Chain A
């Protein structure tokens, strides 16, 4: 089983002075998946990622990568990591910087140079190979940083808030890169607090809040399990004309009436077809009847609550 997992966390706990950043977290990231680690700010996403990267060690529990007990540093050649906050050596030449970043992961100098040049070409930075990082625009620096994360063709790519601070063009570049990596069989783990992005890209997710797991699994399963039934209804005569049907509490648990249309949440186990039948037989002209999947955002807010964000405490190890 575990050889099909790119990352496996078992019972991982990390305490910092004053609070527990991550509490008894299990995480299974299947090889080849695009995995979203979701949670509000301060939920413990970055701490979790740092433990996966072996930048910090968990107090309790184990981290396995590619089914091996080896630490992240020994596997650094197989991992690409983009930290939450971005930055490069500003005074270095682009090519020297990329070669250095590859060599630090264990790639040979000659090989590193070749692949860096290829990547720069791919992302339209051929004219900037010999320029200093300082001379590049912010958008170009972001691209250089993607390259430094991906150039050594890692099997596992870990991106901490990859879309934060990106301009629209680079957001698209980043998404294309993730899609392309997935096509090649790379496992991608990224953290975000923006659910729309996770919804578009991920096949599996884990939502954490206050350091603990709230839900995880494939996106489809999570939606099926926590979605409930959502129906959007519009009738030609206006929603008010069918208000008595929408108020049927044996069928509809909640109705948001927007005048032109209404968003309904059905009672658990209720049959949407029964609602449609009721509407039609009341004589209304139904112009829209859509059984909608709930958005991830909605699931997130339902499960975590709007006030889930905890202030980021100081990350001081207290395991002295």
Chain B
């Protein structure tokens, strides 16, 4: 046991000391922070101080109305310019120069044509800013509607009343028979994020175990090691060591994600942002979700790490191991993708429930179910128990393959031979 500890320590320290670990650990939270704050930064930078000119070539009051609507409701500074149709191009040129000198951000051209067939034109330096253009279009459309209703003689007050309503539909997730504060979109974001995290972490760290086993085998260090400790102790040390690195990294990510989300207003203010402006709804990450995530990562990682170790032990070279890992990887990818699809199509369907019980898919499926739907606690415990049972069986088989395989060189064993290794006493 003490010797397993030496192996665990080596695996952990050697991996944590690498540049990749540092880069990965720091990059995770940085990307999350960007995801959370970048839209807010962009909105606060753009929204406030856009100055545009409204080039009014109309003969009606439409130009005037557009300018008022934009100025009042559109977080814009809009200035109207009355222009004769004949002078349109020369004025446009001089306004373009003004945009070039950054005196204004752009200008909107409205003509009598606009009222008739809805055609308008905006030229500006921010023409590619999706949100701003949508806003401009929205208010222009409102002004247009008002103008046309006025033309057919509808009471202006009635029009103003109709226009004053804004549609705002909220989506709310129901859990445990109660509505949560969480929007459906945010729940989906969190589930998708967790899927990605688990998928990457189990696969990446599982493959690291594969690499570690092959390294020891090709360098024959394994012979010296198994003359000092039992093959199973060695295998356990490796899996626990690599797993500890994964758990460490994942915990750092999970905790920083939670901190970033719960403290985002505080951090936002520190960054000089006004209000929680965000491009999409952000989820809350309850502690229970983090715990479920970590439990399933650990168990799922152990399961696949054991399989990867067995596959590595059967191979004599790195190239061979890379080939041999493909079946295990496919074995992992297919249930993972199925889980994601089941979640998207039928979060309460039988397939999703079944996947959350099968030990090969539950490490991914159950955390997703936990986030998107209401999982009774006994189902969670049942799934964990099944996974542990599967883990014991797989580890037992993998350990036996590993024990014989690490000392074998030469051609790849046939399935029949591998079965004989498993049965060998």
Contacts and interface: CB of A to CB of B under 8 A. Distances in A.
A86 B7 contact: no
A243 interface: no
A87 B221 contact: yes
A256 B331 CA distance: 70
Interface residues of B, number: 31
A88 B6 contact: no
Nearest to B217: A87
Interface string A68-85: 000011001001010111
Nearest to B218: A87
B227 interface: yes
Contact of A73 (B223, B229, B413): B229
B425 interface: yes
B337 interface: no
Nearest to A316: B417
Interface string B402-425: 001001101101000100110111
B227 A320 contact: no
Nearest to B233: A73
B49 interface: no
Contacts of A81: 223-224, 227
Interface string B7-28: 1001000100000000000000
A89 B221 contact: yes
A55 B219 contact: no
Given A83-B220, A314-B408, A320 B6 contact: no
B224 A101 contact: yes
A76 B228 contact: yes
Contacts of B224: 81, 83, 101, 104, 148
B407 A100 contact: no
Given A76-B228, A319-B424, A106 B408 contact: no
B425 A320 contact: yes
A83 B6 contact: no
A176 interface: no
A315 B220 contact: no
A314 B410 contact: yes
A315 B407 contact: yes
A87 B220 contact: yes
A83 B223 contact: yes
A87 B224 CA distance: 10
B265 interface: no
Contacts of A17: 417, 420
A319 B302 CA distance: 30
A111 interface: no
B269 interface: no
B228 A105 contact: yes
A83 B407 CA distance: 12
For B215, B221, B404, B413, the residue with the greatest tally of chain A CB atoms inside 10 Å of its CB is B221
Given A81-B227, A104-B3, 7 more contacts: A53-B227, A79-B227, A83-B223, A87-B218, A89-B215, A103-B3, A104-B7
15 contacts: A17-B417, A55-B227, A55-B407, A76-B229, A83-B224, A88-B221, A89-B14, A96-B14, A100-B10, A106-B228, A315-B407, A316-B420, A316-B421, A317-B420, A319-B425
Q: Which 4 A-B pairs have the closest CB atoms?
A: A87-B219, A76-B228, A83-B223, A53-B227
